[in-house]
Amino acid sequence: MEGITVMAWIWVSRLILFILGFFLGTLAAISSYDEGVMNKEPLTRQELQGMAGKPVYCADIESYGIVKCETIGTWAGVPFLVGAWHHDGVAVNFEYNIMGQKLKCYKINDN
């Protein structure tokens, strides 16, 4: 029984360290945010529609992506954020309806 308790504590301590590391990494990324790289105001629907194929930053999901906006069909005029997350050698693709998910996307300034 004592061996199980020790293993449980080891597992819990590793989990706590992982969460703490993730939190501190996120905090460092936020604190090192450079105001000159992105606009302060989120893009409007009209601005997003005009940015099809261009990169943006989405603070809500802490990721960069490309704006996709169809011109015909059911989804015509609806901006989507398309991208991929990479973590521990695994990539996961995503595609979000920006307006439907109420995501705030920011233009990346050309420097």
Give pLDDT tens digits for 30-83: 444 545 556 789 999 999 999 999 999 999 999 999 999 999 999 999 999 999
Q: Which residues contact 46 (CB under 8 A, 6 or more apart)?
A: none
Average pLDDT over every residue of 95-110: 93
On whether the CB atoms of residues 35 and 108 are closer than 8 A, the answer is: no
Does 47 lie in the same domain as 96?
A: yes
Does 59 lie in the same domain as 19?
A: no
What DSSP element (H or E) covers 105? Answer: strand 105-107
The pTM of this model reads: 0.64
Check residue 109 and give its pLDDT: 80
- The residue range of the domain holding 4 is 1-32
pLDDT of residue 15 exceeding 60, the answer is no
With 0-12 / 13-18 / 19 or more C-beta atoms within 10 angstroms meaning exposed / middle / buried, residue 56 is buried
On whether the CB atoms of residues 71 and 80 are closer than 8 A, the answer is: no
Does 107 lie in the same domain as 82?
A: yes
Does 55 lie in the same domain as 14?
A: no
On whether the CB atoms of residues 81 and 98 are closer than 8 A, the answer is: yes
Q: What are residue 86's DSSP bridge partners? A: 91
Does 16 lie in the same domain as 62?
A: no
Does 69 lie in the same domain as 23?
A: no
Does 43 lie in the same domain as 28?
A: no
Report d(CA 95, CA 82) in Å as an integer: 4
Counted domains in the chain: 2
Check residue 79 and give its pLDDT: 98
Does 11 lie in the same domain as 48?
A: no
CA 25 centroid distance within chain: 14
